[in-house]
Structure 1
Amino acid sequence: MEHGHPGGASERRARILAATERLLRRYGPAKTTVADIAREAEIAVGAVYLEFASKDAIVEELSQEQHRAVMAAMRGAAAEGDRPFCDRLRAVFDARARSFLSLADGGAHACDLVHCQSRAVKAAHARFCDEERALLRDLLVRGARAGELHVEEPEVAARALLRAYASFAPPWLFEGPREEVESALAAVHRIVLYGLVRREP
């Protein structure tokens, strides 16, 4: 720890994270080493290990931050006003796609923090998937209680929705022409979501 500087450790941690993020955007996790991170942060290699047990621990924290930002956008969309639940579900998927796409503007490897072969990124992404499934399940349950949606098994329905929208999440979201995403997403909304609307017998 850095004595005489109460905020020294947290400041050093922030410098390490910022340096790592810059490197990852340029080179990706596989080509970034702890020595690279220390050099970029202008600290000793040993100081990196005072804050993080490994490179994977740094990458996982940064990946979690990116996933948290996406989840915050999705939760914000889910909570907007008193709109019908189908419209809220649509807004959630739109917010997810926009948030992930915005990462692509951050450099050649910017998307690696939400999708790559790194164990750390996979761990962060798995937690994100659990959270987004829980968010969808909650919306489906509430929509069914409100009499707006026809959903017999919310967990199964949430998983099915995520499969239906898989191409609008990493890695597939980044592979097609960006200008086609919005129209394709709108088409999937029409086909998938509005079939959930409860209709009078």
Structure 2
Amino acid sequence: MAPTAETLTAERILEATEEVLRRHGPAKATVVDVARALGVSHGSVYRHFRTKAALREAVTKRWLDRTSQELSGIATDASRDPETRLRDWLATLFAAKRRKAGDDPELFATYMVLTDESGSAVADHVADLTGQLARIVEAGVESGAFASPDPARTARALFQTTGRFHDPCYAGDWTRPDIETDFTAVLDLLVRGLRTS
């Protein structure tokens, strides 16, 4: 049964938009296609998202938020020592990005286009992730495990230094047989640099 305007939610629209983007790609997908997939008028979609750009921004944010939410639990997990938290967080980020690129390459390619045109979704995502890293570094400083005069700056440096393992522009490298070895070597180097003497 097709949703009526009363039962149509933003979440259902975003789910349908993902499917339409997967099927048609970002260049050909339209709001009319999304409405057709939901069995409603395009006006019903516009009641939730005022423009096509707003809809695409919301889809991009939703996609990025999945990774942020997965990582947030690690960043705040006080049962793990800060070094373990940092290692687990970066490994989980790498695994999440690899999974997105490998499991659904059509949608991943679509999101590469959407993130390039995105307003604030990508910047907000990076700010959230570096904020999570800063909390891990702060916990390490408080416990005496890490030395960092500025945890926020250190977090940004960690994020930028590990870009090869999470920035989508490097997705082509993520299937190389030696990528895990490279990741471990970079992570070990970073952790050694953070440790107090």
Report the TM-score range of the alignment, normalised by the length of the smaller protein. 0.7 to 0.9
Partner of 1:123: 120
Q: Which runs of 5+ in 2 are unaligned?
A: none
**Alpha-carbon deviations, 1:62-89, whole Å to 9, x = none?**
2222222111221222244533312211
Structure 1 pair 72–180 and aligned structure 2 pair: CA distance change class (3 A): farther
Shift of the alpha carbon at 1:36?
Answer: 1.9
The alignment partner of 1:53 has SS state of: coil
> 2 CA distance for matches of 1:79 and 1:150?
19
> 1 CA distance for matches of 2:114 and 2:15?
21
Structure 1 pair 152–174 and aligned structure 2 pair: CA distance change class (3 A): same
Partner of 1:90: 87
Partner of 1:170: 167
> 1 CA distance for matches of 2:128 and 2:143?
23
**One-letter code aligned to 1:33:** T
Structure 1 pair 71–177 and aligned structure 2 pair: CA distance change class (3 A): closer
- The CA RMSD over aligned residues, in Å, is 2.4
Q: Which runs of 5+ in 1 are unaligned?
A: none
**One-letter code aligned to 1:197:** R
Q: How many residue pairs end up in the alignment?
A: 193
Partner of 1:109: 107
Partner of 1:152: 149
> 2 CA distance for matches of 1:136 and 1:165?
12
CA contact (8 A) 1:23 1:37 kept: yes
Shift of the alpha carbon at 1:92?
Answer: 0.7
Structure 1 pair 10–187 and aligned structure 2 pair: CA distance change class (3 A): farther
**Alpha-carbon deviations, 1:27-56, whole Å to 9, x = none?**
332321112222222222222212210122
> 2 CA distance for matches of 1:189 and 1:130?
21
> 1 CA distance for matches of 2:83 and 2:119?
30
The alignment partner of 2:149 has SS state of: coil
> 2 CA distance for matches of 1:16 and 1:119?
22
Structure 1 pair 168–9 and aligned structure 2 pair: CA distance change class (3 A): farther
More divergent stretch after superposition (177-186 vs 7-16): 7-16
> 1 CA distance for matches of 2:33 and 2:99?
26
> 1 CA distance for matches of 2:55 and 2:169?
25
> 1 CA distance for matches of 2:80 and 2:31?
48
> 2 CA distance for matches of 1:68 and 1:118?
13
Partner of 1:193: 191
> 2 CA distance for matches of 1:50 and 1:156?
41
The alignment partner of 1:148 has SS state of: coil
> 1 CA distance for matches of 2:64 and 2:141?
28
CA contact (8 A) 1:34 1:55 kept: yes
Counterpart among 66, 76, 80 of residue 63 in structure 2: 66
**Alpha-carbon deviations, 1:147-196, whole Å to 9, x = none?**
11011121221111111011112323412142543222111101222221
> 2 CA distance for matches of 1:50 and 1:80?
39
